[in-house]
Structure 1
Amino acid sequence: MGTWSVDSFGNDDACDWTYELAKANDLTPVEEAIDAVLNSGEDGVEAYEATEAIAAIEVIARLQGNWGDRSAYSERLDDWVEKNNLQPSVALKQKANLAIERILAEDSELNELWQESEEYEAWRASVTELMGRVNLS
């Protein structure tokens, strides 16, 4: 995985996932990305699953008006959110929070990879901040 930043779109996998989102007119790709994390087996969450789920959770937060940082890397997703006036269900928002907990867990490959970096605390703070932008109500 190519990574250049601790933010949600600071990696190739998240940016590539936005192409899948751009083809959709509903939240199916969002739910699928989150479900991939929640349904990961005993081996834990794969890094690409985690980065795609983080991008998907950004969709949920932004649909609720809780925009994070906007950049050229998030532009495709931001455009999709602006064009699609969808409201994520309470169940999907709850799944998003559970997915973040899995991503931050010890058996998450992405968490392990970031632990090897000097920017680990900044990455955790970024993911935790995202969790705070998803309103459960």
Structure 2
Amino acid sequence: MGAWSHESLGNDDACDWVLQLEQSNDFDLVESTLDALLSVGGEYLEAPEASEAIAAAEVVARAQGNFGIENGISKDVDAWVERVKINPSAALIDKACRALDRILTEPSELMELWEESEDSEAWQHQVKELRARVKGQAS
């Protein structure tokens, strides 16, 4: 799975996605990532798309000042947020929430992979906590 942590940015797909984000100056990549995930509908959701959408949702939360766990990759996201200084729209916030809900709904490869690990509960808690931060609610 290329994951070293249950945290939203703790995997290879998220790190690669953040490298793309750093080259952008707006929410276009965030929105297209969330749109791609939501376009799957009820079909099988692949893990890389889910990991990228979680990273995109993390950007939405942090752009509103709702920071989570800090690590090397989150510092890159925080630097991007500080550089672009734009707030996500209500529609983008809604997309991020719907994407996180979809990731936690079968069929979801990322959820399946985490269910096979002993950190499944921690991962699910982190996704739900991220959703609360995206909505601006306490976890």
Relative to the length of structure 1, the TM-score reads 0.94
Contact 1:70–1:78 at 8 Å: present in 2 too? no
CA deviations 1:9-46 (Å, max 9, x no partner) are 11000011001101110000100111111011553211
AA at the equivalent of 2:30:
V
Distance 1:44 1:37 in 2: 10
Once the two structures are aligned, what percentage of the paired residues are identical? 53
Distance 1:106 1:38 in 2: 13
For 1:58-97, list aligned pairs within 5 A: 58-97=58-97
Residue 8 of structure 1: aligned partner = 8
Q: Which runs of 5+ in 2 are unaligned?
A: none
For 1:1-137, list aligned pairs within 5 A: 1-40=1-40, 42-135=42-135
Go from structure 1 to structure 2 and tell me whether the alpha carbon gap of 1:41 and 1:132 turns closer, same or farther (over 3 Å shift).
closer
Distance 1:16 1:129 in 2: 23
Q: Which moved more, 1:69-78 or 1:55-64?
A: 69-78
Go from structure 1 to structure 2 and tell me whether the alpha carbon gap of 1:134 and 1:41 turns closer, same or farther (over 3 Å shift).
closer
Q: Which moved more, 1:40-49 or 1:94-103?
A: 40-49
Q: Which runs of 5+ in 1 are unaligned?
A: none
**Segments of 4+ moved more than 3 angstroms:** none
CA deviations 1:101-136 (Å, max 9, x no partner) are 100012111001111111101000000000000127
AA at the equivalent of 1:6:
H
Distance 2:36 2:119 in 1: 26
Contact 1:15–1:74 at 8 Å: present in 2 too? no
Distance 2:118 2:93 in 1: 31
Relative to the length of structure 2, the TM-score reads 0.93
Contact 2:97–2:135 at 8 Å: present in 1 too? no
Secondary structure of 2:60's aligned partner: helix
Secondary structure of 1:97's aligned partner: helix
Distance 2:88 2:73 in 1: 23
Equivalences, count: 136
